[in-house]
Chain A
């Protein structure tokens, strides 16, 4: 885990480098969580999560909310729809119920997923021109 900075001014002068945010295992949040930086959830969150940075739901973490983030890694439990601009990683041991939308999605062996995957990608050029024929090769 990253060390807390001793100079407390650093994080506020530069909002892009906010100190690491953690909702610990003994913490529960009901409501909307929003922010610019990365967020790690080890506890429980119910409501809505909107972050500009990377969201990590750690093992033991439980999130019941729709998620809007730049990136998402799940090792805990998530119930809700996910809209991510970047990559979504569902790690081993994770339980996810909801629809996933991201630029790329990875599912590790041992992860549980109940929902649909919606992944935007561009087809290779040979597939785009004559999709049916190219696919048969």
Chain B
């Protein structure tokens, strides 16, 4: 279980950085820097550039995503922004607007 959980009722306006896994169920506006995995759960709203390790999105992200690992856009996800990652999956039912940049 992740040690940082931004719960459903929580709104953060500013900068979040974490050396550990982070789960977002609430709202983050600003910037999100993680060294480990980031999970944006269904119902969560992130209006921020995200950088981190493995990234799973089921909620809404507006901003650029940079991952050192894989990015997974699950069904129900809504992403507006560019995605830079080594691997990416976009599930059936995910909404995505932006560019994909994979290091080839």
Residues in A lying within 8 Å of B, measured CB to CB: 4, 8, 11-12, 15, 18-37, 39, 42-43, 47, 51-53
Contact = CB atoms under 8 A, between A and B. Distances in A.
Interface stretch (B3-11, B64-72, B81-89, B90-98): B3-11
B49 to A, nearest CB: 14
Contact of A31 (B9, B10, B12): B12
Nearest to B30: A31
A11 B25 contact: yes
B19 A20 contact: no
A33 B24 CA distance: 13
B20 A31 contact: no
Interface of B: 1-20, 22, 25-26, 30, 41-43
Contacts of B5: 4, 19-22, 24
Contacts of A11: 7-8, 25, 43
A34 B9 CA distance: 8
Given A21-B6, A31-B30, A32-B12, A26 B18 contact: yes
Contact of B3 (A24, A29, A32, A47): A24
B16 A21 contact: no
B14 A30 contact: yes
A116 B44 CA distance: 39
B4 A27 contact: yes
Contacts of A37: 7-10
A31 B13 contact: yes
Contact of B10 (A4, A24, A28, A35): A35
B16 A12 contact: no
Contact of B9 (A35, A42, A47): A35
A126 B20 CA distance: 57
Q: Which 7 A-B pairs have the closest CB atoms?
A: A31-B14, A21-B7, A24-B3, A18-B9, A26-B19, A36-B9, A24-B4
A105 to B, nearest CB: 25
